């Protein structure tokens, strides 16, 4: 069984709002999608990207999935999770440490993909943003 998870995040720094999306693909069929609001007090695009991966990891653990590959178009996030880049920012360190703790002794891998290859996760994220935040349906006054 091939399990792939595609993650994305976005934020509007001026409005201090963000969101994330991920979807789970099992044997090339989309089995689950999730979108959500990012409420971190210091929202950035990287916080939103990390939130997408964190929520996806939690979902896969809850479903007892094994041998999962997570894909994201944030090279920084992927390289930090793989241990190639160090984390110097406190927010990034917090996310990296939490994800690392959750995936310990699990067969989870992280791979960078281009924005074009992450098109569906990007569309899910942008669609959620447009439907809920841009239209004022979600109050994120932090």
In Å, the largest CA–CA distance within the chain is 43
pTM: 0.91
Q: pLDDT tens string for the chain (142 positions)?
A: 899 999 999 998 877 889 999 999 999 999 999 999 987 678 899 999 999 999 999 999 999 999 999 999 999 999 999 999 999 888 889 999 999 999 999 999 999 999 999 999 999 999 999 888 666 655 443 3
CB 61 within 8 A of CB 102: yes
Residue 66: φ, ψ to 5°? -130, 160
């Amino acid at each position: 069984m091939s399990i792939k998870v595609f993650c994305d995040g976005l934020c509007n720094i001026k409005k201090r709002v963000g969101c994330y999306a991920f979807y789970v693909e099992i044997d090339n069929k989309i089995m689950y999608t999730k979108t959500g609001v990012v409420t971190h007090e210091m929202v950035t695009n990287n916080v939103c990207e990390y939130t997408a991966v964190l929520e996806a990891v939690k979902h896969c653990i809850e479903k007892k999935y094994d041998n999962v590959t997570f894909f994201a178009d944030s090279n920084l996030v992927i390289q930090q999770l793989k241990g190639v880049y160090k984390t110097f920012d406190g927010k990034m360190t917090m996310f990296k440490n939490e994800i690392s703790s959750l995936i310990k002794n699990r067969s989870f891998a992280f791979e960078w993909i281009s924005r074009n290859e992450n098109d569906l996760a990007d569309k899910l994220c942008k669609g959620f943003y447009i439907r809920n935040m841009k239209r004022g349906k979600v109050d994120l006054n932090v």
